[in-house]
Structure 1
Amino acid sequence: MNTKNHLNQKEGTTEIDLSELIRSLGQQWKLIAGIMAAVFSLAVVYVIVANPVYQAKSVLRVAELRDLDRLNLLDLYSLDREVALQQIGNELESYSTRLDFFRENPELFKALESPIRSLEQSFDVFNEDAFTVTRSAQQQKDGQQRSRYVEIVMEYSGGLNGPVILNNLVSYVHAQEQERVKSDVSALADNRIERLERQLNTALVGYQAAVEMEVAQLREQDILKQNELEDELNALRLELKNQRLNRLEKLNEAIYIATELGIKNPTTLASLSQEQQQRINANVIRAEINAQNKDPLYFMGTRALLAEKEILSLRESDDFMEPRIAQIYKELELLKNNRRVEMLLARDNEKLFLESNSQIRSDIARLQELKSDLGNLRLVRLDQVAVEPVAPVRPKRLLILLLSLVLGGILGVSVALGRSLLRQR
């Protein structure tokens, strides 16, 4: 029973104290309002004095198919559009790339100059929080992540031209990556051109060897043909000489017979005198005549036979007796100049006669054209350029003022409650 009374007394005391506290807060409204006003005033001062922070944003997307199609035409250098965007994003995140850009464009960062810091130190502090790179990746069927766009955000304070810096940075990174790709393509193209030129030189050496072999074969054929013709000529001359010697022997025999028969002038068998026929065995004569298709040689008479013998003895050449000898002379004269050999040896630009020359030179021309036609290479598509912001992103003035009122009220109530509790004790 005593315990219950004690609890009731305590509960009653609590209710009285809470009412007193509320009444006390009402009595101290001026204190609470003063604290709220003080906090709000501090917030107003901060909003006025705080250096505004602005934000510039640029968005890059994958390039069009036609932008990289020419680069992938010759199967020399393959670059996927998503890979190109990913490389640009990596370079935008690279501290060394940003520092190189800063060093090459110091006029854009004059606002960062400080008497207690070097420009590099100032840029290092600025770079820690200024840039934010965001990527959007899309899951592909092969399980790989492919970048679809890259967003770079730059926060800056007054004195810096953020949009110009960001746009120049994006252009700088794209130009650097473009030069890297061009350098790789140029190196690969030079290596391919060198290989094609070595292939062309190898083919040229083979062609020269083939020409030398053909010239040697033609000359060998000419020499062989010439030797064969000269052998044939010598054989024909020997044959004609033997025929002439045989003719002389026949003439000697015929002269002897004609002398014995007393035949000086050409005659026939019917015109022979009876006396001569009686001295000559008729059977022998008839047998000789019947064995030949024409009159015997001695019927020409000694005068004709001796004249022919004298001519044959004085003859120095029998070449006119055989038409084939004239033909041999003609062929030998033609063999003195082989026009095919002269044309082969007179070729100045032997590469023009290579079978693979046209294809190799066409490939070299395409590679050289590709090297010189990469000036318009575009690795990414600039979807959004950085523009001058309308308002700063920090400080958020309205939010700060509202929070100052809330915090001022909480602080004022807390102070008033503390005073009330101290008074009751």
Structure 2
Amino acid sequence: MNNTPQLHPHSASDEIDLFELFHGIWKQKKWVIGCTLLATLVGVGYAFLAPQYYQVSSVLRPAAINELDALNRSEVYKLPPADALAKVGAQLDSYEARLGFFRANPALFEAFQKPGQSLEQSFEKFNRDAINLVLPGPKTAEPLSNFVRLEMQYPKGIDGVAILNGFVDYAIKQERDQVGADLKVIVNNRLNELKGKIDAARANYETTKESKIARLLEADRVKRARLQDELGALRLQMKMERDDRLAELTEAISIAKSLGIKSPTTPSAMEGVGSGGASQVMRTVVTNQKVPLYFMGSQALEAERSALLQRTSDDFTNARVAEIGKELRMLDTNREVEVLNNRKNEDVFLQDVEPLRAEVARLRGLNIDMTALKLVTIDRQAQEPLQTFKPRKALVVGLSLLVGLMLGIAIALIWHFIQVRRQTGPFSVVDDRRLPRQ
């Protein structure tokens, strides 16, 4: 048997000997323990010396339906509970609202104001780092999704509870004031609109009334003119008739005088006078002819002509003249126009304004004082935290312990592999007795 040692290339690591690794780590246990202790001390120092921050939160949920019932029943401003919660959430997230609260409560924010910084710069840091609004996700179950959570992180020495609760109350008040202002503007605009409609109805009534009065007076003037024309025509007619009668009487008087008829007579009587007989005879004459006027005798005819010549007016001879006089007298005063002009309260005669007046009365009776309006329900107010939010001491110490242990093990392994590398080199001597026979 040849016992000459043979050189064989050393295989870097066909297998990892876990026992050898553990043994190597154990040999370097001082490094492991030292790194672990060092990292743990650093973690403990950070946990106890780092600035302590606390976190508080407040949760808002929709108000009960009955809280907003009076507002919604006004039929002027509709605000469902979910919309009210959304409005308050928008107010909580509003930069202007946060800045307004910051300015209104300088005593609460003294710790945030640094020397050399303006109020807006100090607020910007607070707004960016300290306060956060959490809204429900889109996939959250519906009845439980209606909430708004406001979180605030603040260092030790600041009254975060007072800040958060105060800001929530401030935002709710701001939104309540905004709702009250909106309601007041809407009601005033509606009242102005209704007033405009009533004024338009009043103007329309005045125009209609004036037009009606003008038509009535015009109709009276036309009727009066027609009656006066008729009266003038009648008087002219009666005068012509009188002149004709006078001419007729003058002619009849002339005939009667020529015949010697002084007293009224008849043709038959005239025939008896002309015969001269002594016997008395009764005659009956039936004729449809008109007896000539001169048979009235000259005396009667002259008396009638004298009366006609002395007549100053013929109005009494025609009944229509009296009727025209009556109608003209009635036209002197139009009672309908007089009643229209003497109306005391003309608003009662306006058309289609009763619903408008009822709406005005309803709007004026609305309670637009929103100081007691409950927009949301504060499901949870901010409370004093029982522990710090950061740093979390147990977690920091645990993580530092774990990091130190891992760092120590890593250093031990590195040192172990360095030692192995130095001892073995790239080739190692192998005893032939350990090689299998060929």
For 1:103, the equivalent position in structure 2 comes to 103
What is the 5 A alignment of 1:227-306? 227-260=225-258, 262-266=260-264, 274-276=272-274, 290-292=287-289, 297-298=293-294, 300-306=296-302
Moved more, 400-409 or 209-218: 400-409
More helix by share: 1
Deviation at 1:225, TM superposition (A): 0.6
What is the 5 A alignment of 1:328-343? 328-343=324-339
Answer yes or no: is the 8 Å Cα contact 1:62–1:149 preserved in 2. no
> Partners in 2 of 1:366 and 1:92 — Cα distance?
34
Deviations 1:173-214 (A, max 9, x none): 344345455555655665665565555555555544443333
1:392 is aligned, of 364, 387, 398, to 387
Give the paired residue count: 406
1:314 is aligned, of 291, 310, 313, to 310
CA 1:277/1:418 → structure 2, altered by over 3 Å: closer, same or farther? same
For 1:22, the equivalent position in structure 2 comes to 26
> Partners in 2 of 1:334 and 1:243 — Cα distance?
29
For 1:130, the equivalent position in structure 2 comes to 130
> Partners in 1 of 2:385 and 2:20 — Cα distance?
56
> Partners in 2 of 1:15 and 1:247 — Cα distance?
169
> Partners in 2 of 1:314 and 1:139 — Cα distance?
118
Moved more, 199-208 or 406-415: 406-415
Answer yes or no: is the 8 Å Cα contact 2:112–2:123 preserved in 1. yes
Amino acid at match of 2:226: E
Percent sequence identity over aligned pairs: 34
Answer yes or no: is the 8 Å Cα contact 2:261–2:298 preserved in 1. yes
CA 1:278/1:385 → structure 2, altered by over 3 Å: closer, same or farther? farther
For 1:43, the equivalent position in structure 2 comes to 44
What is the 5 A alignment of 1:128-167? 128-138=128-138, 148-167=146-165
Moved more, 151-160 or 171-180: 171-180
For 1:143, the equivalent position in structure 2 comes to none
Deviations 1:40-67 (A, max 9, x none): 6973895488545141323244774983
TM-score normalized with structure 1 length: 0.70
What is the 5 A alignment of 1:326-405? 326-347=322-343, 352-361=348-357, 373=368, 375=370, 380-394=375-389, 395-400=391-396
Deviation at 1:334, TM superposition (A): 1.0
Moved more, 357-366 or 391-400: 357-366
Amino acid at match of 1:124: E
What is the 5 A alignment of 1:187-202? 201=199
What secondary structure, in the 3-state scheme, does the structure 2 residue paired with 1:136 have? coil
> Partners in 2 of 1:117 and 1:332 — Cα distance?
97
Structure 1: give runs of 5+ residues left out of the alignment.
Answer: 141-146, 280-284
Structure 2: give runs of 5+ residues left out of the alignment.
Answer: 278-282, 423-438
TM-score normalized with structure 2 length: 0.69
RMSD: 5.1
Answer yes or no: is the 8 Å Cα contact 1:138–1:148 preserved in 2. no
Deviation at 1:167, TM superposition (A): 3.0
> Partners in 2 of 1:59 and 1:242 — Cα distance?
107
For 1:59, the equivalent position in structure 2 comes to 60
> Partners in 2 of 1:327 and 1:16 — Cα distance?
149
Deviations 1:212-265 (A, max 9, x none): 333332222111111111122122222322333333344334444544555545
What secondary structure, in the 3-state scheme, does the structure 1 residue paired with 2:147 have? strand
Amino acid at match of 1:388: Q
CA 1:262/1:246 → structure 2, altered by over 3 Å: closer, same or farther? same
Deviations 1:395-423 (A, max 9, x none): 44554565566567668888999999999
2:169 is aligned, of 168, 171, 191, to 171
Deviations 1:154-184 (A, max 9, x none): 2234444333322332333344345455555
Deviation at 1:310, TM superposition (A): 2.4
* Structure with higher RCO (Cα < 8 A, 6+ apart): 2
